[in-house]
Amino acid sequence: VLLLSSPHNPVGRVWTAEELEKLGTICVKHKLTIISDEVHSDLTLPKFQFIPTAAVSETIANQTITIIAPSKTFNLAGLSTAVVIAQNKVLMQAYNNKLSDWHINQGNIFGTVALEAAYNRGDEWLEALLNYLQNNIDYLHNFLAERVPK
């Protein structure tokens, strides 16, 4: 198994399609399942392009389990709710079996409703959050440029 943080956490590095393809090709060659943690994908700043790992190729998609969640973007971490996606039904069943073996439940109704609300009606919040984050980045960049010698 390869656990991929995409975009990278904590630095926010967004992987290119070429990088994901190279990594995916290695995983396919060595029969590694890719678990792509894409929980931070909503926080990708507009000047970058987030590419889901499973979107790189059909072959890579067949070896990928993708995890997304509103926890970071919409401050819902306490609800322990996520979406797990795998187009390969055998892989998805193996994942579900492992959850069952470990006695991990499949979520809660409150978290599910919050997830649905965040993804269906959270555009205004997300836009404001991305602007806030970009302003913080700009402030830090300017602060360092003015005060730190080259």
Q: What is the pLDDT of residue 94?
A: 95
Q: How many angstroms separate the CA atoms of 77 and 54, rounded?
A: 24
Q: How many angstroms separate the CA atoms of 115 and 124, rounded?
A: 15
Distances (CA, A) of 119 to 73, 76, 112, 123, 136: 10, 12, 11, 8, 24
Residue 109: what residue type? Answer: I
Q: What is the pLDDT of residue 104?
A: 86
Degrees to nearest 5, angle at CA 124 with 119 and 125: 75
> For the segment 77-114, what is each residue's pLDDT rounded down to a tens digit?
999 899 999 999 999 999 999 999 998 877 789 999 99
Q: What is the pTM of this model?
A: 0.90
Q: What is the pLDDT of residue 107?
A: 77
Q: What is the pLDDT of residue 103?
A: 86
> For the segment 63-83, what is each residue's pLDDT rounded down to a tens digit?
999 999 999 999 999 998 999
Q: What is the pLDDT of residue 149?
A: 83
pLDDT band, very low/low/confident/very high, at 3 (cuts 50, 70, 90): very high
Task: Show the tokens assigned to 33.
Answer: 């399942």
The mean of the pLDDT values for the chain is 95
> For the segment 10-27, what is each residue's pLDDT rounded down to a tens digit?
988 999 999 999 999 999
Q: What is the pLDDT of residue 33?
A: 98
For the domain made up of 2-122, the CATH class stated in words is alpha beta
Q: What is the pLDDT of residue 23?
A: 98
